[in-house]
Amino acid sequence: MNTTVSITTQGQGLYEITSQVEAFVEECGVSDGLCTVFIQHTSASVIIQENADPSAKRDLEQWLNRLVKENDPHFTHTAEGPDDMPSHIKAALTATSIAIPIVQGALALGTWQGIYVWEHRRSSHRRNVVVHVGE
Amino acid sequence: MNTTVSITTQGQGLYEITSQVEAFVEECGVSDGLCTVFIQHTSASVIIQENADPSAKRDLEQWLNRLVKENDPHFTHTAEGPDDMPSHIKAALTATSIAIPIVQGALALGTWQGIYVWEHRRSSHRRNVVVHVGE
Amino acid sequence: MNTTVSITTQGQGLYEITSQVEAFVEECGVSDGLCTVFIQHTSASVIIQENADPSAKRDLEQWLNRLVKENDPHFTHTAEGPDDMPSHIKAALTATSIAIPIVQGALALGTWQGIYVWEHRRSSHRRNVVVHVGE
């Protein structure tokens, strides 16, 4: 079974989709299975991170911005804006898909884990995450 | 089918769990399937690396420690110790879940591949990896 | 169901395998499922990237070469050549497996997404990717 979770991002940052994914898992009624989230873009990622403290997500974002700098003089892929090539690199360093076991009908997330879309572009984008549930 | 492999880490490093995962795959008796390992933490990772030469794992660990430095003056998430925020960043750069095909009843690992928990914190932690086997 | 896609690389770079994976998915005849690609090596990766503009892949490759430098004086794992330890690090920072949902009989890739083997070694290598299709 699959569905698509779509969100509209408002610039760089982590956007939580845990509740949408959990709702679909519940709807599927699978007791022991696997849930996969897959993002259909190459300038945004999916990530599991701490959902407790916003400062951790902000530090993560800013650290990655210092690692992958805009306007790198080596870049040749610049036609789509200064944040496009860094976004592809960030996507390569993070995850396009994550698989989470389903145990006793629920996602087996750790206590502090949330599922996020990580937007790497500066402007607003419509992002689609395909969610698959199997046994 | 799923199980949880739990280990107690003793500081940063790679801890092999290949044999525990293999034992569960064998127990499941699936001939053609998929085995997923998922770590329930945001300051440790799962990774597949070379299992032959310990120097490769040590160099990998130390390289990542030079990339993601402790006591970065930009960090604001510091309440849980100097190694906590670097651990979240390292987890984001590496993997939370890995899926390995099962072929003819065995994990389709390459000759030199082993499955590891990668502990990013300095102190001892109990780490849980949920292992799912499906068809 | 599973198969192995084998390619011979000719030095560093991204080698597209989308059509081989798509052909296997079609052959399997699964309408709603999950396709997993898993690379059996620790010095090469699998990656989903933009398939439109070759400059993006070239910039990505060169950026990673600047991040993970050969001949780092800290490396001790040097017996297999100057590009071996950097290759293990690059593999750790990117993906060993990627799972892609199958929707209505086809891979649910985004418009610009292609599936690639990312070779990190300088010389030619035979690389095996195990492809699993399940429901």
Alpha carbon A94 to its chain centroid, in Å, reads 9
Nearest residue, CB atoms, A38 vs list C58, C94, C100? C100
Give the pLDDT score at C51.
86
Tens digits of per-residue pLDDT, C57-67?
A: 999 999 999 99
Provide the token pair at A54: 């916003």
Chains touching chain C, criterion 3+ CB pairs below 8 Å: A, B
- Cβ separation C77–B66 shorter than 8 A: no
How far apart, in whole angstroms, are the C-alpha atoms of residue A133 and residue C34? 9
Nearest residue, CB atoms, C32 vs list A2, A34, A91? A2
Give the pLDDT score at B27.
97
The alpha carbon torsion through C57, C60, C64, C67 (nearest 10 deg) reads 160
| Interface probe, candidates B50, B93, B112, chain C, greatest C C-beta count within 10 A | B50
Residue B124: DSSP 8-state: E
* C5 reaches B (C-beta below 8 A): no
- C51-73 core/surface letters (b: 16 or more CB in 10 A; e: else): bebeebbebbbebbeebbeeebe
Q: With CA atoms as reference, report the closest residue to A46 among A124, A104, A98, A113.
A: A98
Give the pLDDT score at B52.
83
Q: With CA atoms as reference, report the closest residue to A127 among A20, A5, A17, A2.
A: A5
Tell whether the model's pLDDT for residue A53 goes beyond 90.
Answer: no
* C101 reaches B (C-beta below 8 A): no
Tell whether the model's pLDDT for residue C53 goes beyond 90.
Answer: no
Percent of chain C exceeding pLDDT 90 equals 96
Nearest residue, CB atoms, C33 vs list A40, A42, A134? A134
Provide the token pair at C69: 């430098």
Helix (H, G, I), strand (E, B) or coil at C67: helix
Set of chain C residues whose Cβ sits within 8 Å of the Cβ of B16: none
Q: What is the DSSP string of chain A?
A: -EEEEEEEEESSEEEE-HHHHHHHHHHHT-SSEEEEEEES-SSEEEEEEESS-HHHHHHHHHHHHHHS-TT-TT----TT-TTHHHHHHHHHHSBSEEEEEEETTEE---TTEEEEEEE-SSSEEEEEEEEEEE-
Tens digits of per-residue pLDDT, B85-122?
A: 999 999 999 999 999 999 999 999 999 999 999 999 99
Q: With CA atoms as reference, report the closest residue to A64 among B90, B39, B130, B70.
A: B90
* C81 reaches A (C-beta below 8 A): no
Give the pLDDT score at B101.
98
Query: What is the distance in angstroms between the Cα of A91 and the nearest Cα belonging to chain C?
Result: 8
Using alpha carbons only, what angle is made at residue B118 by residues B113 and B119, rounded to the nearest 5 degrees? 160
Set of chain A residues whose Cβ sits within 8 Å of the Cβ of B92: 47, 49, 60, 64, 94
Tell whether the model's pLDDT for residue A64 goes beyond 90.
Answer: yes
Which residue is closest to C101 within chain A, CA to CA?
A132
Nearest residue, CB atoms, B109 vs list C40, C77, C93? C40
Helix (H, G, I), strand (E, B) or coil at B104: coil
Provide the token pair at C105: 């009989």
Provide the token pair at C134: 């399940």
How far apart, in whole angstroms, are the C-alpha atoms of residue C92 and residue C62? 17
Cut 0.90: pTM above it:
yes
Which residue is closest to B45 within chain C, CA to CA?
C92
Q: Which residue has the tokens 């993906």?
A: C95
Please state the rounded mean pLDDT for residues A81-88.
Answer: 96
Nearest residue, CB atoms, C98 vs list A40, A41, A96? A96
User: Given 3.40.710.10, 1.10.3660.10, 2.60.120.460, 2.40.50.60, which CATH number is that of B2-134?
Assistant: 2.60.120.460
| Interface probe, candidates A1, A2, A3, chain C, greatest C C-beta count within 10 A | A2
Model ipTM? 0.96
Tens digits of per-residue pLDDT, A24-34?
A: 999 999 999 99
Give the pLDDT score at A130.
98
Q: With CA atoms as reference, report the closest residue to B53 among C24, A113, C42.
A: C42
Which CA distances in Å does B109 have to B21, B34, C13, C128? 12, 12, 23, 11
A81-84 long-range Cβ contacts below 8 angstroms, 24+ apart: A81/A122, A83/A120, A83/A121, A83/A122, A84/A43, A84/A121
Tens digits of per-residue pLDDT, C86-107?
A: 999 999 999 999 999 999 999 9
- Cβ separation B132–A64 shorter than 8 A: no
